[in-house]
Amino acid sequence: MVPVTPSFPLFKLPYLAWSNVLGSMNQLDLIQLSLCCKNMKYAVRSLFRKPNECCIEYEEGQLIIFVSGALSVAVGLQLCDLLHSGPCTMRFHEGRTIKLLGVENFRPKNWFDHIVGVFNVQRISSLSFKIIPSFELIDPRILRNLTEGLEISQLNTSTNVRTYNIGLLLDTFPNIQNLRLSLKPGSLPQIVERKYNSIYFVFSISVNEILSLKAKFISVPVYDYEFNKVLKKWVEGWHPLLTGMKLRLQRWEEPTTVFEGVFDGIDHQGPLITEKGIQFTIKNSKGISATITFNKPTKVVVLAPNQVKTTDVDMLVADHQL
């Protein structure tokens, strides 16, 4: 096949012919072509009529974009010098291929808009922050400007992101509906005051803090006596919009049964042995039922100087629409 270059008379071919030519090219070549001229950009854009989404990872000043959807292989793009306003280059990752692309006067915002435009990205499924060494190295307004106009579904932070920065990110992206945090933010009220579709915490929080959350789905580590208190509050009518919880049930000692102490003082039905694990059913004051499943097997986590036994527990609230 004759390689398509800026001088190749692509548009003198019939539509189906040039469309097939572009459709057979790899992602790197498509991006290179889309930078040639507006007609090439629109031609490449025409291959992606269905809306796409992307994932974004931020690590030490670098922003990596993974576009998926219409492509069989994800595209990874790295924007260099994100924290500088001057022109920058873009590193493209596809398998083991790394190639530098340079366009005069292209700044991070130009690169980002070009990529999401070419691949018809309409939504950011997740925005992940892996390493932010110091709060002085990040200005969240840059990221907000970069992603302006796109819905961001989920915010993820690792243990290498300081609590101060988590607070900044929560303020910068107030409309995010799903949170996955590895460290507790300095001010939990930032989360408590907002409604979320889901919240996933790697760290433990108090029973009162759990009860203050307004998320439809909650995932946190808890001890058996804490879970018992939460279930009692749910039976009394706490959080009528809750759809479910995924818990890492923690114990310092091996229990007689995986559900020991969980249902103390709570009317329940079970146990029922299922493929997923040991299952119970409870009801709240309005007659809405919830299924509690203790998954197997129990895992051991070392929290020096002791070992903690953990069991994954799923709570699924039945449809309560009248």
3-state secondary structure (DSSP) of residue 314: strand
Quick one: how many helices (H) and strands (E) in the chain?
9, 17
CB 177 within 8 A of CB 197: yes
3-state secondary structure (DSSP) of residue 255: coil
Asked if the bond preceding 108 is cis, omega within 30° of 0, the reply is: no
Give the pLDDT confidence score for residue 97 in this predicted structure: 47
Residue closest to 99 by CA, chosen among 75, 134, 116: 75
Give the pLDDT confidence score for residue 322 in this predicted structure: 36
Give the pLDDT confidence score for residue 165 in this predicted structure: 80
Q: State the residue for tokens 């580590």.
A: 221
Residue 218: in which H helix or E strand, if any?
strand 217-223
Which portions of the chain are predicted below pLDDT 50?
Answer: 1-2, 70-73, 95-98, 302-304, 320-322
Residue 59: in which H helix or E strand, if any?
strand 52-59
Residue 108: both structure tokens together: 């991070």
Give the pLDDT confidence score for residue 10 in this predicted structure: 60
3-15: buried (b, 16+ CB within 10 Å) or exposed (e) per residue?
Answer: ebeeebebeeeee
257-268: buried (b, 16+ CB within 10 Å) or exposed (e) per residue?
Answer: ebbeebbeeeeb
Give the pLDDT confidence score for residue 68 in this predicted structure: 72
Give the pLDDT confidence score for residue 88 in this predicted structure: 64
Domains of the chain, by residue range, sit at 1-47, 48-194
Identify the CATH class of 48-194: alpha beta
